[in-house]
Structure 1
Amino acid sequence: MSTMNNPRSTLHALMPMGQGTTEVESLTSYFCRLAHSHGMTARNLAAWTLEHYEQPIPDDFKWFRRSFGGMSTETEQWAVWLAELTGIANLDHLTLVPWRHLISNPGLTPASDRWCPCCLTEDRAHQQSPYLRLCWDFAPVTACLRHKVGLRSECPHCGKSNVRNRATTVVVGYCTSCGGFLGDAETEAATPQALWSARQVGQMLAKPPRIASDGVTKLLETIIEKMADGNAAAFAQELNLSKSGVWHWLRKGGLPTLPAWLSIALHGGISLEKLYAGELANWKLPTEPVQFAMQLSTSPRKGIQSRELDWEAIRQQLHGILAEEVPITLAEACQRTGVEHKLLYLRANTEARAIADRYRRHQAALKEAKEARLQAEVGELIRERLDAEYEGISAREVWQQLDGDLKTIRHTYRQVAKAIAAND
């Protein structure tokens, strides 16, 4: 019986993270970790690989300009080279190469590198190497499904972007500019739409598609038949797609973008995973238009215990306030009872109005008493003035001789003039 020879690998047989799951590692991350395991910079490993396969190295060579995470021929070539050098199979599953006969490139690449701080923090907490998830490299994915938070694109320490892996030396999970841990970034809750997109793409990446390249046109025809009775124009209008684009899919072998596939999945009530598996036999369209759950903010009253008000006891307390010698304002009565004035007017209307009216009458009586004192004091001052053989007295002179309490009367000068006129 012969045994298969398994030669030693040229590079470390480093196993990819998250294979077969929604959190599968990207080839970019795998390459950086492979370089780190050899104590090499990512640039040097990339240059060594190109030299090993007798490929030219540009004078301004930057390794991160290589296409590691997409679906191009270059991406596939790097996956093949690394598979041969490490002895690890299926490294193309760390890219979108298995889906390139289904998805077109436009709208695929995000404006800047992103990551989930919670994932990186969790990786380090579990004492494993932090790694970059493949789904983070696609523009339609803006959230982490596992932690329900939005992805970040700026270093929490230096504030720079594109610092995840775009440098000569890369330690995955750490800023290539300042060296700070990228998992320290603050996070915000993701929207239902973002989580739905992340779930669809994650499930798609967990399983390679089963639809062959020669079956894509038939798949699209079936989708349009199911969703719009075969009317491509109506289908395009319903999904807000270009009519010429849909025509190009059916007649010229064009491919939908990833956002277009997501729109089909959303309106059709089916997952990308099932679409790419061709499982359409039992597919039923949703009877109601798709609507995401609205994410409401936390109520400021959350945690505040409601209370039952004993209105009979409150009314008795208000009657006690009415029986007191000194009237008080309704605001003071509210403080004593712990009830807002609106509720008092609604539930103890008679008592509330009685307290307010009693205080108003009390204030009016005080005002009348003050004015009477003012009249008497002005009369006394005039008499003193006349006894001293002065011809008269001005309102200013009177006001200067009044005590402090009488000076608080509203429109004092007017009241003084009125009192002078009454005593002439």
Structure 2
Amino acid sequence: MNELTCPPRSLLYPLEPIGVGTADVESLASFFCRVAASHCVSSTDLLHRISKMCGWAAPPKNFWKDTNLSGMGDVAERYACALSEMTSVEHLDLLTLRLWRNVIAHRSKAPAKGRWCAACFEEDLANGRMPYFRLAWDVGDIDACAKHGARLPDACSDCGRTGARNNAACVVPGWCCYCGAPLGRVQAAHASAPAAETWKAAQVGQLLAAQASISSVPDRCNVTEGLRKLVDELDGGKSARFAQRIGANKSTVHWWLQQGGVPTLAAHLRIASQTGVSLVALLTGVIDDSIPILRAGPSLAELFPDYKKRASPHRRDSTDIDAKMDELRQSDVAVSVSEAARRMKVRRRQLYRVENEKSRVIAAKWTAHQRHCSEQHRLEAVRAIEAAVEDILSRGKAPNLREVQQLVPREVLGGVRGVFAMIQEASAKIEASRSATWP
């Protein structure tokens, strides 16, 4: 007689996660919403019930807006463990990005709004399957669906409101939270994504498909060693040259290699696109001894529209610089070294390095000019203050700063120190001259 095996008892229905081990793996937020819908309760009620049973603080009102339940943070780990214990479904952390927490910087871009692929929802319904949210849609650096080559919208095609995916107490994946219209209607407005965006989505899809077969958390040291291998074999061990290759600052690459820094997901995609190594190989540190020949991939400008290639360094003409320095040194018009460097299109420190003695002469000449201008400005201010004080005293008033400011133009007093002392000196001088003239 065959014995019937019963599933283990659990507080919540043990729903089966969808797409584990594929690029279309379900997100933990989607699993949470499906569990709530299967119990005919709102997502908010289930959230409060889990928090109460686990002894956590009550979640804030804007929990779903400010929290990425499928990300790499501690919140994703806590709720994955809690749902796994309450549903008896193991390895719910595979519905999050938690596995990559040691090799992808947590400051990586997070999605600002809930997004989806209408073609994926339409495909779910056509196959008789309940629509669900893909984990790839909750990766901030991805804006396209690799499977259908379409951009990920964030607004309902019927009512036009954003946040239509899961911005409600009761969420049914695949339908608008505001008007109830199906989100699987493919519209012409959902334009095709550029090839570079599709390439990024495909790389992330391979990463999500591979995480189900990885037995341990990827190690940061292996990733660093893989980067060193790329620098050695592609750019002869020159990290500055490698930084130029991937469009990053050389200090950033030095931070990765020497100080244990962790690249963001966008930085990993930069490296993968310009080295020919897949994103999975980069993050697992499994890079063969021989680097593959670089294949024709998307350029940095295509992958990241805000990328600006650095201008080539300006080549100095020492003869021309020497002639211009002599001209400035002999000129009657004084200029600063910074202004001289700007005219010659070089940096100030480079000018000191090339023509140190002449630069010092120009700097001393500019300092003397500034000092002379300051003295002349002060003498002008003294004369104007004396005239103002004399006028104030002639009207029988006591000279003060407010009275003086009404008589002296602002550009004369501006930048002059010790105005109070100058007013007192002018008052004492005028009083003394008047006492000397009286019988």
Find out whether 1:207 has 2:236 as its counterpart. Answer: no
Residues 166-195 of structure 1: CA deviation (Å, up to 9, x unaligned): 221111111112211111141322221111
1:7-406 alignment runs, 5 A limit: 7-58=8-59, 60=61, 62-186=63-187, 187-208=190-211, 211-287=218-294, 290-291=297-298
Residues 244-269 of structure 1: CA deviation (Å, up to 9, x unaligned): 22222123321111111111111111
Q: Which has the larger radius of gyration?
A: 1
Q: Which residue identity does 2:241 align to in structure 1? A: A
Query: Partner residue of 1:365?
Result: none
Offset of residue 239 of structure 1: 0.7
Which range is displaced more, 36-45 or 187-196?
Answer: 187-196
Q: Which residue identity does 1:93 align to in structure 2? A: L
Q: Per the alignment, in what secondary structure is the counterpart of residue 248 of structure 1?
A: helix
Change (3 A) 1:269 1:216: closer
Offset of residue 59 of structure 1: 6.3
Change (3 A) 1:163 1:288: closer
- Count matched residues: 290
Q: Which residue identity does 2:287 align to in structure 1? A: L
Residues 398-417 of structure 1: CA deviation (Å, up to 9, x unaligned): xxxxxxxxxxxxxxxxxxxx
Change (3 A) 1:43 1:291: closer
Change (3 A) 1:283 1:42: farther
Offset of residue 55 of structure 1: 1.2
In 2, distance between residues paired with 1:288 and 1:132? 33
TM superposition score normalised by structure 1: 0.64
In 2, distance between residues paired with 1:18 and 1:159? 29
Change (3 A) 1:233 1:88: same
Which residues of structure 2 form unaligned runs of 5+?
Answer: 303-439
Asked if the contact 1:224/1:232 (under 8 Å) is kept, the reply is: yes
Offset of residue 58 of structure 1: 4.9
In 1, distance between residues paired with 2:28 and 2:54? 19
Which residues of structure 1 form unaligned runs of 5+?
Answer: 296-424
Offset of residue 137 of structure 1: 1.0
Q: Considering only aligned residues, what root-mean-square deviation do their CA atoms show, in Å?
A: 2.3
TM superposition score normalised by structure 2: 0.62
Asked if the contact 1:17/1:24 (under 8 Å) is kept, the reply is: yes
Change (3 A) 1:180 1:221: same
In 2, distance between residues paired with 1:22 and 1:70? 16
Offset of residue 283 of structure 1: 4.1
Asked if the contact 1:25/1:132 (under 8 Å) is kept, the reply is: yes
Residues 264-295 of structure 1: CA deviation (Å, up to 9, x unaligned): 11111121122233331254343565357xx9
Asked if the contact 2:175/2:181 (under 8 Å) is kept, the reply is: yes
Change (3 A) 1:61 1:197: closer
Change (3 A) 1:218 1:291: closer
Q: Per the alignment, in what secondary structure is the counterpart of residue 143 of structure 1?
A: coil
Query: Partner residue of 2:429?
Result: none
In 2, distance between residues paired with 1:148 and 1:60? 35
Offset of residue 218 of structure 1: 2.0
In 2, distance between residues paired with 1:68 and 1:289? 36
Q: Which residue identity does 1:195 align to in structure 2? A: T
In 2, distance between residues paired with 1:287 and 1:273? 17
Q: Which residue identity does 1:34 align to in structure 2? A: V
Q: Per the alignment, in what secondary structure is the counterpart of residue 149 of structure 1?
A: coil
Q: Per the alignment, in what secondary structure is the counterpart of residue 28 of structure 1?
A: helix
Change (3 A) 1:127 1:16: same
Change (3 A) 1:231 1:59: closer
Displacement over 4 Å in runs of 4+: none
Change (3 A) 1:287 1:52: closer
Q: Which residue identity does 2:19 align to in structure 1? A: G
